[in-house]
Amino acid sequence: MVAKDGQKVADVLSDGNVPGSLEVLRERVLNKRSGAASVQDWRAKLRQWWPYYAMMAPGLLFFFIWHYVPIWEAKMAFEQVRIIPPNIWVGLKNFQQLFASPIFYQVLANTLIISAMKIAFVFPVPIIVALLLNEIRNGKLRGTIQSAIYLPHFLSWVVIAGVFIAILSPTDGAVGQIQQAMGFGAPSNYLTNPASIRWVLVISEIWRSAGWDSLLYLAAIFAIDPQLYEAAEIDGANRWQKIWHVTIPGIVPTIATLFILNMGLFLSADLNQVINFQNDVNASTIDILDTYVYRLGLSTGEYALATAAGLFKAVIGMVLIVTSHLVSKRLTGKGVW
Amino acid sequence: MTFKKLLLATTAVAMLGASIVPAMAQTTLRLVSKDLLTTNPDDVRLIEEIEAGLKAKGHDIDIQTIDLPSGTAAYADALGVMLLSGDIPDVIYFQGGDQKMAEQGILEDLTPWIEGSENIKAALWPHNVERLANYPYLLYIYPPRGPQPVIRQDWLDELGLEAPTTVEEYEALFQAIHDADLDGDGTPGNTLGLTGFGNTSELDSIFNQAFGVTGTWMKNAEGQWVNSRVTDAEKAKIEFYARLAEKGLFDKEFVTNTFDVKEDKFYTGKAGVIFGSSPEVIDIYAGKMRQAHPGEEIELAVLPAPTGPGGQGLAAVDVSKESRGWAISSLSENKEAAVALLDFMASKEGQDLERLGFADVHHTVGADGAVTFTDQISTWYARFFNAANWTPPTPLLSPTAQTALDNIKNGFVADNAFVWPAEYAAEVDAAEQVYRSWVARFVTGEATLDQWQQFVDEYNPRAVHAWRSMRRRCWAASSATTRATPPPP
């Protein structure tokens, strides 16, 4: 509902000349009504808006079945799973088994380091890409660049890992040959070197997702009122100043929202990516919670252990979402709710 | 009168039929396997022919296959979820994840069924017998996997060398390949003697025994049982691998190679020797090599396991359990039908069907009964078994692959590894990670053998703790699902 001519919603509602579709809402806001009236309102709304509810229903149903029902099944983390029911309640035994593993803390540390690196170095790149794309005035050129940088998003990690393994090969990889040609010495194997493999994950993630992820920021930039740019121009702002004082503040809510949502996935450092780059030498450096759980939980049928790890990740994710939401609210006035 | 008689006779026949039908009722058998899908016409026809074969033997069975993703990891995941949801077919093909099901009593102990079977017992390979004795829930009648090295015969001839029979001769062969310009690119010294992928387990297949790594558990100088991974024999073997890599004879990039990269290096002449995981795979390598070099009649030669300071032979075969195979649900109401199916597939008729493919598609039968394979046979593969006692009417394998199979048959030695109960999975996984990581670092030169003790100190606390704990447990009570026990102290 949009208030006309800048009037506040309450003014519109108190106006006698309210469109028929707002009649029910007006009643609800201005009068204190009984429960029966409320049900009547609900029915009236349903009659009036049913096509929209019908359109929304599949989505709601999807989320209910695939996102809410499984929450109840998370109780499996506290059970010994029996194929022939009932499951046996074992309390925190699965968590104890998870935390008692000799390499759990190493795996957790790897996950935190890789996730932190991705937040620090991957997250800002799509914002920068979107800002740069927005500055390209030639529509055709912008379209071509956009298409080119979106493409890697559609490649699977198997293919991307294959490409990176080929170009980073110390014997005949392009990177090594360039390195040698420029006099930087013999190429090292970046895929086995513990000091470089995490950077390979970060760079490959940027290559794959920066273009696609910039779409959201680009959409947010396009939604900024052009009058603001015109006003800035009249005030004598140059390009950089317009970016700094108009564009970036205009997309801060989008940045904040995506940052908070990313924090929720902090402990999910991308199973598919890591599993395709993992080898015997770098395993101890990039073995993350997801690969560990996949190896120990899913491939051996230890579903309770896998669920315990999943629940652990979810709880941490929830804490991080709430914390970053509160911090964001305080700093920018924007959050996810 | 005639009409009445006809009516009476018809009624009598109908009643008789009705009384007979239940006795001859068809059994519906639900089966899940990643290699038997309703979307593959060959699979569908195979199932129909199996049903016909079973019917000829007096078993009227309707086999209903369940489609799951056919990729190995995806199949194991989907199968686990399906079983967890309570949907348990009568016959299940496992490729991992079976141990958990066995521990919960979902899988039938196959021992009495095999004892009473007509064909399965005779079709078993020696390692199958031992694995079934230790873990009687999976049946996988195939020769053991014993990777063996292969080289282009023309390269071997060009080098003027015989197939190596000692560790030193192997090193000399790799050196000769490296130094010569066999691939003809005009640059000698850029060909690897040997390449691999992932880890060194393929190499272990022929070098374990040569260096004295005789099994998973070995006695040390003090007479105590230790894991072979921390023995001097293992150290000597890894030192040999590291030396080969250091001299450019073994591919240092084996860690990041995938199997197709490994093969590609072989076909393009970047590497002289690779390991084939089975006789059939060796034939595939030969076919691909000829495709990569049209017009050249290239043959491959299998190289023998070398003699070394510790002995000679193929690596000991893990007989603790089958890593994959067929299981029957203990909840099934059609166990007899399930066993009949597996028994039929182990029989001569079943193997003829399974191994030769369809008549007039994958093979033709001449007037004299001689079987000739068509080109289509290259697309055919066994879905159930490769019985030890079945002989093809026409050789299925090339002489090279047959040599590899004979080596596997003749060189079988049982390992003394045992099944770790699921509760030790985390510790075993941690120890395995340490071993794999250190071996790769030793071989690629990122760590030196001077750091061996550092590896041992890191490995032992993880492996030994789990092992001692396991021994205590096994002494206290024999496990329900793992009959094999750790070696005595």
In chain B, domain spans: 2-144+321-404, 148-312, 422-476
Residues A184 and A62 both lie in one domain:
no
Asked whether the predicted pLDDT for residue B480 surpasses 80, the reply is no
Q: What is the mean pLDDT of residues B9-37?
A: 72
Q: What is the pLDDT of residue B15?
A: 59
CATH of the domain at A153: 1.10.3720.10
- Check whether residue A145 and residue A63 sit in a common domain: no
Record: contact B429-A165, CB cut-off 8 A? no
- Position B485 pLDDT exceeds 50: no
- Cβ of A144: how many Cβ atoms within 10 Å? 12
**Residue A138 shares a structural domain with residue A226:** yes
Rounded to an integer, what distance in angstroms lies between the CA atom of residue B265 and that of residue B242? 20
- The range of the structural domain enclosing residue A110 comes to 95-332
Asked if residue A285 is part of any domain, the answer here is: yes
What count of CB pairs under 8 Å joins A to B?
Answer: 105
On whether both A156 and A256 belong to a single domain, the answer is yes
pLDDT the model gives residue A10: 45
Position B26 pLDDT exceeds 90: no
Percent of chain B past pLDDT 70, that is, above it, reads 89
Say whether both A253 and A165 belong to one domain. Answer: yes
Which of residues 112 through 151 in chain A touch B, CB cutoff 8 A? none
Write down the pLDDT at residue A5: 44
Q: Indicate the pLDDT class of residue B2, thresholds 50, 70 and 90.
A: low
Rounded to whole angstroms, the Cα distance separating A240 from B416 reads 71
- Angle, to 10 degrees, between the axis of helix B348-356 and the axis of helix B335-346? 70
Name the β-bridge partners of B274. Answer: B150
Judged on CB neighbours under 10 Å (0-12, 13-18, 19+), B488 is exposed
Q: Summarize the confidence of residues B271-281 as an average pLDDT.
A: 95
pLDDT for B319 equals 94
A179 and A134 in a single domain? The answer is yes
**Are the Cβ atoms of A189 and B439 closer than 8 angstroms?**
no
The residue that leads in pLDDT, B107 or A16, is B107
Statement to judge: residues A58 and A118 lie in one domain: no
Give the integer Cα–Cα distance in Å for A221 and A242: 12
The pLDDT value recorded for residue A283 is 87
Q: Do B253 and A283 lie within an 8 Å CB cutoff?
A: no
Domain B2-144+321-404 of CATH type 3.90.1150.200: no
Task: Give me the residues of A, 293-322, that contact B with CB < 8 A.
Answer: 295-296, 298-303
Closest CA to A296 of A284, A287, A306, A288: A306
Q: How far is CA B98 from the centre of its chain?
A: 16
CATH superfamily of B148-312: Periplasmic binding protein-like II (3.40.190.10)
Could you write out the DSSP letters of every residue in A152-196?
GGGS-HHHHHHHHHHHT-TTT-HHHHHHHHTT--SPP-TTT-HHH
Nearest residue in chain B measured CA to CA from A280: B437
A82 touches chain B (CB under 8 A): yes
Within this chain, do residues A60 and A185 fall inside the same structural domain, yes or no? Answer: no
Q: Does B425 touch chain A (CB under 8 A)?
A: yes
**Total domains in the fold of chain A:** 2
Q: Interface pTM (ipTM) of the complex?
A: 0.76
Q: Is the Cβ–Cβ distance between B217 and B226 less than 8 Å? A: yes
Does B75 score more than 60 pLDDT?
yes
Question: What would the pLDDT profile of B306-345 be if each residue is shown by its tens digit?
Answer: 999 999 999 999 999 999 999 999 999 999 999 999 999 9
Mean pLDDT computed over B395-413: 93
What's the pLDDT at B77?
A: 85
For A80-83, the CB contacts below 8 A with 24+ separation are: A80/A304, A81/A303, A81/A304, A81/B84, A82/B104, A83/B83, A83/B84, A83/B86, A83/B88, A83/B101, A83/B104, A83/B106
Q: Which pLDDT tens digit goes with each residue over B428-440?
A: 888 888 999 999 9
Q: Does B100 touch chain A (CB under 8 A)?
A: yes
Q: What is the pLDDT along chain A (337 residues), one digit of tens a residue?
A: 444 444 444 454 444 444 455 565 555 555 555 667 788 888 898 899 999 999 999 999 999 998 888 888 889 999 988 888 888 999 999 998 888 877 888 999 999 999 999 999 999 999 999 999 999 989 899 989 989 999 999 999 999 999 999 999 888 889 989 998 898 888 888 998 888 999 999 999 999 999 999 999 999 999 999 999 999 999 999 999 999 999 999 999 899 889 988 888 888 888 899 999 999 889 889 999 999 888 877 777 788 888 998 899 889 988 988 998 898 888 877 777 7
**pLDDT for the residue numbered A67:** 87
Is residue A223 a part of any domain in this protein? yes
Distance from C-alpha of A91 to C-alpha of B207, rounded to nearest angstrom? 48
Q: Does B437 touch chain A (CB under 8 A)?
A: yes
Residue A51, in any domain of the structure:
yes
Question: How far is A40 from chain B, CA to nearest CA, in Å?
Answer: 42
**In CATH terms, are B2-144+321-404 and B148-312 the same topology?**
yes
Among the candidates A49, A80, A111, a domain finishes at A80
Q: Do residues A326 and A200 share a domain?
A: yes
Q: Is A188 on the interface with B (CB under 8 A)?
A: no
**Which strands, in side-by-side order, build the sheet including B148-152?**
B192-194, B271-276, B148-152, B300-302
H or E stretch including A53? helix A35-63
How far is Cα A25 from Cα A11, in angstroms, rounded to an integer?
Answer: 13
Tell whether A86 is covered by a domain: no
- Best of B253, B324, B455 to disrupt the A interface (most A CBs within 10 Å) is B253
| Statement to judge: residues A286 and A258 lie in one domain | yes
Sign of CA dihedral A17, A22, A26, A32: positive
Do A202 and A324 share a domain, yes or no?
yes
Give the list of residues 6+ apart from residue A283 with CB closer than 8 angstroms, or none: B433, B436, B437
Higher pLDDT, residue B479 or B121: B121
Residues A151 and A268 in one domain: yes
Say whether B80 and A301 touch across the interface (CB within 8 A): yes
